[in-house]
Amino acid sequence: MNKEEFLEMYLGLYINHHLVLEDMKAGSHKYTVIDVRNAPKEMKGDKIKDALEIPAKELSERLQELSKDKIYVVYDWTGGTILAKQALLILFKNGYEAYELAGALEGWRGMRLPLEKV
Amino acid sequence: MNKEEFLEMYLGLYINHHLVLEDMKAGSHKYTVIDVRNAPKEMKGDKIKDALEIPAKELSERLQELSKDKIYVVYDWTGGTILAKQALLILFKNGYEAYELAGALEGWRGMRLPLEKV
Amino acid sequence: MNKEEFLEMYLGLYINHHLVLEDMKAGSHKYTVIDVRNAPKEMKGDKIKDALEIPAKELSERLQELSKDKIYVVYDWTGGTILAKQALLILFKNGYEAYELAGALEGWRGMRLPLEKV
């Protein structure tokens, strides 16, 4: 595995916010966003519009809420944590297609994209 | 190496704060936390309770302060920097068991876990 | 690929700010820094001194502005985003030597290193 292959593997874990936003605007529901933050509701404050709230620590027990026909997009507070990747691994191991949202909630918020109260 | 194996390798570099906190509360001293920030003391302000202070840039020369019987947990300011991973690599190359603290100091502080003045 | 090799591959994508700063001070122009943020000028505010401004989304179309004799150092807002790595991959695929700036703009600013208005 060379640097290029390594980077492609790494970047292949992510999805760009543009794709999620276009899907949201078109109402095509190709992607389902999941907020995997483990924090209590009062700490979360808001979340990405229409995102499911499934804390990473509950994900393994709540897989029946998901569908193999959807593509899942998971996010945590920032891109500097590992929670979204832990959630990804659970989803991969159970046969779901999933990506980590590039930039995480921090990036989404910074670009003033649609949020809603939790 | 597929996506799943890649993620497992990546996540295997990290340790969850829960494990460190439980060890801290139980007083079992299985883990020894090392603050590897290169910043001067006055910039650091505080650090994780009982953490050793060994800046990453001094780590290679201070390995004699460490023990092969301990498991080391290294952290930097945030999870978006590479200092903790540079420290991990030094520790691996010298035969120590070590992990990067998931969420880094930023996450530990955000969850209001035990800190102390440097 | 073991943990050590994985870490070496990962860390090999990065360059330390020290090397960039020394080159800047010596005026040797070994490295050329590229600000790959996609944000509009008014949001960027400032950038690393002497950095080229080539948003990641324009990079593929602006490769003729670059030289194979230079080593490129790309950065985004923080180390928790993937934009710099996307830029790196484009540069690698086109035969350029390039690295991601460790700590990103956030780290550079935090250490009060030279900035200039965009």
- CB-neighbour burial class of residue B40 (10 A; exposed 0-12, middle 13-18, buried 19+): exposed
Neighbours of chain B (3+ CB pairs under 8 A): A, C
pLDDT in tens, A68-116: 999 999 999 988 889 999 999 999 999 999 999 999 999 999 889 999 9
Please tell me which of the candidates B78, B83, B85 has its beta carbon nearest to residue C7: B85
pLDDT at B28: 92
Mean pLDDT confidence for C85-96: 98
CB neighbourhood size of C91 (10 A)? 21
* Helices within C45-114 (DSSP H only): 56-59, 83-93, 104-110
Which residues on A lie below 8 Å from C88 (Cβ)? 7
pLDDT at B40: 87
Query: What residues contact residue C77 under an 8 Å CB cut-off, 6+ apart?
Result: C37, C39, C104, C105, C106
DSSP C83: H
Amino acid at A110: G
Helix, strand and coil in chain B, % to nearest 5: 45, 20, 35
Mean pLDDT confidence for B28-49: 94
Distance CA C85, CA C17 (A): 17
pLDDT at C90: 98
Cross-strand pairs, A74: A34, A100
Please name each of the domains of chain B with its CATH number: 14-117 (3.40.250.10)
Which residues on B lie below 8 Å from C107 (Cβ)? 81
Mean pLDDT confidence for C22-38: 96
Of B80, B37, A113, the closest CA to residue C77 belongs to: B80
> Residue B58 is encoded by which pair of tokens?
């001094």
Distance CA A111, CA A108 (A): 5
Q: Is the pLDDT of residue C96 over 90?
A: yes
Contact between chains at C85 and A6 (C-beta distance less than 8 A): no
Q: What are phi and psi for residue C107, nearest 5 degrees?
A: -70, -45
Contact between chains at B7 and A81 (C-beta distance less than 8 A): no
Query: What residues contact residue C46 under an 8 Å CB cut-off, 6+ apart?
Result: C115, C116, C117, C118
Residue C40's pLDDT band, with cuts at 50, 70 and 90, is confident
For chain A, give the mean pLDDT: 95
Q: How many CB pairs under 8 A join B and C?
A: 42
DSSP C73: E
Q: Considering chain A, what percentage of its residues have pLDDT values greater than 90?
A: 90
Mean pLDDT confidence for A23-34: 95
CB neighbourhood size of C58 (10 A)? 12
ipTM: 0.91
Residue B12's pLDDT band, with cuts at 50, 70 and 90, is very high
Q: Considering chain C, what percentage of its residues have pLDDT values greater than 70?
A: 100
Place of tokens 């790595």: C85
* Helices within chain C (DSSP H only): 3-11, 17-26, 41-44, 56-59, 83-93, 104-110
Contact between chains at A3 and C13 (C-beta distance less than 8 A): yes
Q: Is the pLDDT of residue C79 over 90?
A: no
Contact between chains at B82 and C14 (C-beta distance less than 8 A): yes
**Pairwise pLDDT comparison (B79 vs B45), residue with the higher score:** B45
| Interface probe with C: pick from B43, B82, B89, B97, most Cβ of C within 10 Å | B82
Amino acid at B8: E
Please tell me which of the candidates A10, A80, A92 has its beta carbon nearest to residue B79: A80
Strand ranges of the sheet holding C31-35, from the earlier edge strand across to the other edge: C14-15, C97-101, C71-75, C31-35, C52-53
